[in-house]
Structure 1
Amino acid sequence: MAKTMANQPKQSRHLNRFYYPLDQAVEKPFNWKQMLRLLGYVKPYTGKLVPGAIIAMFISTLIRMAVPVLIGKVAIDIAIKDKDTGFLTYLVIGISILYLVSYLANTFRIKWVNILGQNVIYDLRRNLFSHVQHLSHNFFDKRSAGSILVRILNDVNSLQELFTNGIINLLMDVVMLIGIVVILFVLSPPLALAVMVVLPIMFYISTKLRRNIRRAWQDVRIQKSRLNSHLNESMQGIRITQSFSQEEENTEFFNGVNTDNFESERLATKKSAYFGPFVEMSNAIGTVILISYGSHLLLLGEANGGIEIGTFVSFAFFLGMFWEPISRLGQIYNQLLVAMASSERIFEFLDEQPNVEEKPDAKTIDKMKGHIEFDKVQFSYDEDRIALHEISLEMKPGQTVALVGHTGSGKSTIANLISRFYDPTKGAVKIDGNDLRDLKLDSLRKNISVVLQDTFIFSGTIMENIRFGRPDASDEEVFEAAKVVGADEFIRRLADGYQTEVEERGNILSAGERQLLSFARALLADPRILILDEATASIDTETEMKIQQALRKLLKGRTAIMIAHRLSTIREADQIIVLQHGKILEKGNHQELMQRRGEYFDLVKSQFQMLNTL
């Protein structure tokens, strides 16, 4: 048994590493309502692009169906039979003109449907991204960044072929099929019935393939999601991977995920390709019937219930044309299956509603004082773990309140509730006497700035990053904010100063420099409430002392919530709240809590002893 496990590929032993229960294939019938909803994105363009493309499609389709009749019934049965070369010449010129008109119509059709498709894809991706931007933190807690990227990029891209070609081609092929069937029955009902005897069999087989093909394309989307998730995590964690020399392990796992993605693509393509051979087989059977039974009718002659040579030639033309749209319909059907698999995943996100919802009659706070109250607040991230146990506390306007406690005590949860990233399970969080659930989210969050330990720097210039929270700020205001937090000095040492381009996550900057930029960004927004969540953890002691001096000025008149394990940073706080397992153990300022010799005293003492040991 041990030997078997030792020889087992490593990726199989980590099979559940990127297993997402919310990202599974779902067996459902073809959802026409969903398809109609998808086609609703075409509605804004029905004024010009759609009518133009449809008219051009009808012109080219009618010409294609008219030409075989002109060749068979007119050119052969009339002009050639009567040896009328003049009429035949005019007929050739007329057919040439029709082909030219058809060429022009197809050119405009292709142009218009491509413009239509690109606009629809643009709108869909914009709507999806905008919707995801407004979803609650709970949504992102349950999904990896890679799986979200797949839906916004790959799943939307997979609809492009449907909108640029599929819809119009579907309409064109249906019109052509109906037209051909009508013409064939007009030319010769017995021969038309004979060549179409294979259609019921073909319809039965294609119906049997639907479910398997659609499930296969669903699986492709899921495997792509897992592959992107792994790539996203691997790139973000490359330093950790290299630090522990796990490049080979990570590569082997990637090979496993990549193999799953390859196999799902191969299987889906294989199943989709089944339709083509069936069409070819049907075409071959129809051709055999046409030659055998058509020759018999041709020998009988029109006078004896048979057909003429022109009708036979027209049938040959139309038979070739008949299987062409059927073959394309098979491809379009595959596109529809892919589109259905992708649209299910897209609409799942679009139908997702924020856990933190804004009431229709929500109020706006123009001038926030910053008076914060927690009224018997209980909160759970999930049913099994309560993060806060009916806590009540008050933070007065202009106060600096420090939250201390061991990891998991509920400090960051309190900060998240103040920003209303989550809503309490019980009780209420109030600002200036208003329940946060009664306020507009924009109005609330524009008055709050948050500085996290793991700060995020966007790609762009340093100026743009500082100005992120307040885009209309002047350059002078940006400079002043940077000076106040001590960031101006290191920024001006850079080659391009404030116009220095920083890469994704600000990798060209040190951790302390990134933290200083996040301070400047938060302070430039001029918030009434400032939340510092382990914000000085990445800054050295000397820099921290400079920032503490700046914060004394900046926090004046603002309500500040400081979360810190380094207790030296919170000595001057107006109120210190000691938390443990989601409950408040102690409240008071530094001197009061030290005199009580309780939990806070023990925390300070343990940190002091640790520093002396070092």
Structure 2
Amino acid sequence: MQWLLCDRMPGTSGFTISYAVLSRRGLYFFRPRSRQAMREKRFKGYILHKKETVYKQEELKAEDYETDFRPLEEIERLSVVNLVASGMLVMQERGSEERMAGIFTNGHMEPASKLVSAFEKLKQGKETGIQEDERKEAACPTCGMLYPERGRKVCPRCMKKHAIFGRLLRLAGRYKGTIALIIVFMLLNSLTSLIIPYLSGTVLFDQALGGTGRFAGQIGLVILLIILCRTLALAFGVVFGIQTAKLAANVGFDLKSDVFASLQRLSLAFFQKRQTGQLMTRVNNDAADVQYFFTDGIPYFIVNTMNIIGIAAILFTLNWQLTLLCLMPLPLMIFIMRTVFPRLWRLSWRRHRRISAMNAMISDSMRGARVVKAFGKEYQEVERFSRSSRYYARAEQRFNKMGSTVFPTLNMIIQAGGIILWAFGGWQVIQGNFTFGLIMSFLHYLTMLYNPIQFMNNIVGWWSNCMSAAQRIFEIQDAVPDIQEKEDAVRRETIEGEIRAIHVTFGYEPNRPVLKNVSLHVKPGQMIGVVGRSGAGKSTLVNLISRLYDPDEGRITIDGIDVRDLSFDTLRRNIGIVSQEVFVFMGTIAENIAYAKPDCTLEEIVQAAKIANAHDFISNLPDGYDTYVGAGGYILSGGEKQRLSIARAVLHNPRILILDEATASLDTETELEIQDALEKLMKGRTTIAIAHRLSTLRNADYLVVIEQGEVAEAGTHEELMELNGIYAGLVRKHDEALKMREVI
């Protein structure tokens, strides 16, 4: 059963929860009857938004909905009309005109498209595979907050923080040896430090100077023991400091490598929906925040916990009544920490979103520096950055303002224990109940207790940052690629190069197909040309062949094997792409060519450059093949970068070659040089060439004309010219353009 949640249907007023349900018998409409069913559902979304409307699926009750049924044989046509911010379900029944069956927001466009597709298959008597809708809710059912990432039901507000903490602890398992070593030396440092207050207080004042006890009159020995303990504490501190520095470097490297590797396995669609700066924030900032958890979090938390227990035990041993008086402010401090913690968590999330937006803006501006300069929009970019930076500064100020207010307050509460000690302890010394050495030891131990408790105060902020950053990192690591390799994928060292597209339909957005029922056949070693206007779906077709995306319907095979059954390694090794958009990496010319085959020799690089007609211009560069080019290759012309791309493809030596507008935006002379290089590259390979310039396709064995996502014409050049259709019209316009250029 396929169902669609509509916002409005005929016979209802306003926006309500209505349903269109398709079964093998026909189409059911459920319209709200009672006020309870018609009530709008609201929730508080992100902090920036006051109110948003979301529709939650509720249990249908017969008394709340009225049912309207239309038999399948009575419905002639069912379609979806795309509006600006919504869609319309249109139905035509036998003997009547088309009418609106329901209106829905764009959030329900995908199930609407599935419903129409299922209806068409039912009408044709095909197996539809109709099943319960697997659509994921867009908002958390508990608090109503929108999920940060569509299709991934992770609510920052309701996520179980202890689950993230437990996962971080499991991640710490790889460094358990180093962490254990750090903890051992930190504990030794703490133990030697715990002896010093007793020696410098009770032993020095009451025994050595007071002339009583075991160390009576032995001032020099007591001083030597104090120096020895301080020296040992310093040595242990140096050792765990060195180990902590090594751990920090290793953790930072591993975390950033893991996040970057997780990003690399994700599909192309993931990167097209996100800005570069946001992903850079996750690789750098979030990894650094999680690093603190391992270097400053776990070791210091364990050691400071032991210190608090040890010092508290010593204090209770010295005088339990005085200890209880000094710890009176502790419950108030715990209450404040539990109250502040959730607020700090939310402020940390807001700060992260602001810095991600700022980094994204910086990345866009730097990558588009040429456009900015060309249009003279430097001042506008400065204004954009200032606005983004101001938003981040406000979020940072709120976070720091709260921390600067709460933590000094906690410190003042802690220090109130020292005031109590001096007041009550001093009075007891005057009364003769306590010795001065006892008070000095007590004061030193209480001072030592402040540092661990201060750490526990600060760990609220650290823990908040670490958990927020860890959550974002785990979301990247847990993200499931849209395009996945099967576990039993077919692996082939070489392929013949036969390609078939069988009734392929694909769209980047629901109900907006770019390709519609496209079929074609490319024989091994054959060159096929794909012609069509801009936006017709030519590049989309080759993206599906190389499996950057998967078709919504139909299938694509290589040597009779569905590309979804082939391993990624087989596809990438045997398919090469020369695109109009050539990217040059930061590095030398030789490194850019060798990107396709990193273990190649210099002779192979030079040979590939010669085949691509790139050797001559490379030899004229200041450092030849060692010439350093920046990101984007701005020191190279368009034709030079294109020839580098062809040399890269030559070195890759693919069995299937895809030319995606490889000679677009080039002058005639450069185009001829590129064309000559391409002809050398295409020899003996299955080639699919996409081009606006029809001269690029003059050697094609077969031509396919795509119009509005469909194969409109197919045949050889002569056959299509005799047909006098779309292709013939394109050829005439191309010839007219060439004549006009000659006149100019």
Compare 495-504 and 63-72 and name the one that shifted more.
Answer: 63-72
Deviation of 1:87 after TM superposition, in Å, equals 2.5
The partner residue of 1:203 within 294, 316, 334 is: 334
Q: Would you say the 8 A contact 2:148–2:155 is kept in 1?
A: no
- Write out per-residue CA displacement over residues 491-522 of structure 1, whole angstroms, 9 at most, x where no aligned residue: 11111111111111111111110011001101
State the AA in 1 paired with 2:275: S
- Asked whether 1:72 is paired with 2:201, we answer yes
- Asked whether 1:188 is paired with 2:188, we answer no
Q: Would you say the 8 A contact 1:376–1:426 is kept in 2?
A: yes
Which residue pairs with 2:65 in the alignment? none
Please show how residues 306-321 of structure 1 align to structure 2 within 5 Å: 306-321=433-448
Q: Would you say the 8 A contact 1:377–1:427 is kept in 2?
A: yes
- Write out per-residue CA displacement over residues 114-147 of structure 1, whole angstroms, 9 at most, x where no aligned residue: 1112101111111111121121101111111111
Q: Would you say the 8 A contact 1:63–1:99 is kept in 2?
A: yes
For structure 2, the residue ranges without an aligned partner over 5 or more in a row are 1-47, 49-146
The partner residue of 1:59 within 188, 194, 201 is: 188
Q: Aligned equivalents of 2:680 and 2:661: distance in 1? A: 20
- Write out per-residue CA displacement over residues 90-113 of structure 1, whole angstroms, 9 at most, x where no aligned residue: 121111101100000000011101
Partner SS for 1:374? strand
Partner SS for 1:274? helix
Q: Aligned equivalents of 1:613 and 1:29: distance in 2? A: 65
Which residue pairs with 1:359 in the alignment? 486
State the AA in 2 paired with 1:42: A
Which residue pairs with 2:163 in the alignment? 33
Q: Would you say the 8 A contact 2:337–2:460 is kept in 1?
A: no
State the AA in 1 paired with 2:267: S
Please show how residues 508-587 of structure 1 align to structure 2 within 5 Å: 508-587=635-714
Which residue pairs with 1:219 in the alignment? 350
Question: Please, what is the CA RMSD of the aligned residues?
Answer: 2.0
Q: Would you say the 8 A contact 1:41–1:123 is kept in 2?
A: no
Which residue pairs with 2:266 in the alignment? 135
Compare 214-223 and 158-167 and name the one that shifted more.
Answer: 158-167
Partner SS for 1:381? coil
Distance 1:412 1:29, change over 3 A: closer
Q: Aligned equivalents of 2:165 and 2:509: distance in 1? A: 35
Partner SS for 1:159? helix
Compare 545-554 and 116-125 and name the one that shifted more.
Answer: 545-554
Please show how residues 262-341 of structure 1 align to structure 2 within 5 Å: 262-301=393-432, 306-341=433-468
Q: Aligned equivalents of 2:690 and 2:503: distance in 1? A: 21
Which residue pairs with 1:7 in the alignment? none
Deviation of 1:29 after TM superposition, in Å, equals 5.4
Partner SS for 1:158? helix
Partner SS for 1:449? strand
State the AA in 2 paired with 1:313: M
Q: Would you say the 8 A contact 1:41–1:120 is kept in 2?
A: no
- Asked whether 1:412 is paired with 2:543, we answer no
State the AA in 2 paired with 1:74: V
Q: Aligned equivalents of 2:333 and 2:511: distance in 1? A: 54
State the AA in 2 paired with 1:79: A
Which residue pairs with 1:441 in the alignment? 568
Compare 165-174 and 188-197 and name the one that shifted more.
Answer: 165-174
The partner residue of 2:241 within 110, 114, 118 is: 110
- Write out per-residue CA displacement over residues 30-85 of structure 1, whole angstroms, 9 at most, x where no aligned residue: 612212322434322323x2222111111111122222223333233322222666
Partner SS for 1:455? coil
State the AA in 2 paired with 1:465: N
- Write out per-residue CA displacement over residues 563-612 of structure 1, whole angstroms, 9 at most, x where no aligned residue: 11111211221111111221111111211111101111112222223333
Distance 1:367 1:284, change over 3 A: closer
Aligned residue pairs total 591
Q: Would you say the 8 A contact 2:207–2:216 is kept in 1?
A: no
Which residue pairs with 2:389 in the alignment? 258
Distance 1:336 1:127, change over 3 A: same
- Asked whether 1:43 is paired with 2:173, we answer yes
Q: Aligned equivalents of 2:673 and 2:642: distance in 1? A: 13
Q: Aligned equivalents of 2:564 and 2:491: distance in 1? A: 12
Q: Aligned equivalents of 1:351 and 1:131: distance in 2? A: 8
Higher strand share: 2
Partner SS for 2:513? strand
Compare 64-73 and 212-221 and name the one that shifted more.
Answer: 64-73
TM-score normalized by the length of structure 2: 0.77
For structure 1, the residue ranges without an aligned partner over 5 or more in a row are 1-11, 13-19
Q: Aligned equivalents of 1:542 and 1:21: distance in 2? A: 51
Partner SS for 2:712? strand
The partner residue of 1:485 within 577, 595, 612 is: 612
| Larger relative contact order (Cα-Cα within 8 Å, sequence gap ≥ 6) | 1
Distance 1:249 1:469, change over 3 A: same
Q: Aligned equivalents of 1:129 and 1:593: distance in 2? A: 49
Q: Would you say the 8 A contact 2:505–2:553 is kept in 1?
A: yes
Q: Aligned equivalents of 2:211 and 2:393: distance in 1? A: 62
Q: Would you say the 8 A contact 1:113–1:168 is kept in 2?
A: no
Deviation of 1:466 after TM superposition, in Å, equals 0.9
- Write out per-residue CA displacement over residues 282-335 of structure 1, whole angstroms, 9 at most, x where no aligned residue: 13321221122223443454xxxx433332222211221222211122222211
Which residue pairs with 2:370 in the alignment? 239
State the AA in 2 paired with 1:32: H
Distance 1:218 1:25, change over 3 A: farther
- Write out per-residue CA displacement over residues 147-184 of structure 1, whole angstroms, 9 at most, x where no aligned residue: 11111112212333333323222222111111111111
Which residue pairs with 2:553 in the alignment? 426
Partner SS for 1:401? strand
State the AA in 1 paired with 2:167: R
Q: Would you say the 8 A contact 2:580–2:660 is kept in 1?
A: yes
The partner residue of 1:346 within 473, 482, 488 is: 473
Deviation of 1:370 after TM superposition, in Å, equals 0.6
Which residue pairs with 1:370 in the alignment? 497
Distance 1:332 1:434, change over 3 A: same
Deviation of 1:211 after TM superposition, in Å, equals 1.3
Deviation of 1:198 after TM superposition, in Å, equals 0.7
Q: Quote the sequence identity (%).
A: 38
- Asked whether 1:605 is paired with 2:736, we answer no
Q: Aligned equivalents of 1:129 and 1:29: distance in 2? A: 24
Q: Aligned equivalents of 1:124 and 1:202: distance in 2? A: 34
Deviation of 1:372 after TM superposition, in Å, equals 0.7
Q: Aligned equivalents of 1:275 and 1:177: distance in 2? A: 21
State the AA in 1 paired with 2:600: A
Compare 290-299 and 522-531 and name the one that shifted more.
Answer: 290-299
Which residue pairs with 1:93 in the alignment? 224
Q: Would you say the 8 A contact 2:575–2:656 is kept in 1?
A: yes
Q: Aligned equivalents of 2:342 and 2:171: distance in 1? A: 26
Q: Aligned equivalents of 2:149 and 2:636: distance in 1? A: 36
Q: Would you say the 8 A contact 2:527–2:686 is kept in 1?
A: yes
Q: Would you say the 8 A contact 2:639–2:674 is kept in 1?
A: no
Partner SS for 1:508? coil
Deviation of 1:463 after TM superposition, in Å, equals 1.1
Q: Aligned equivalents of 2:414 and 2:174: distance in 1? A: 40
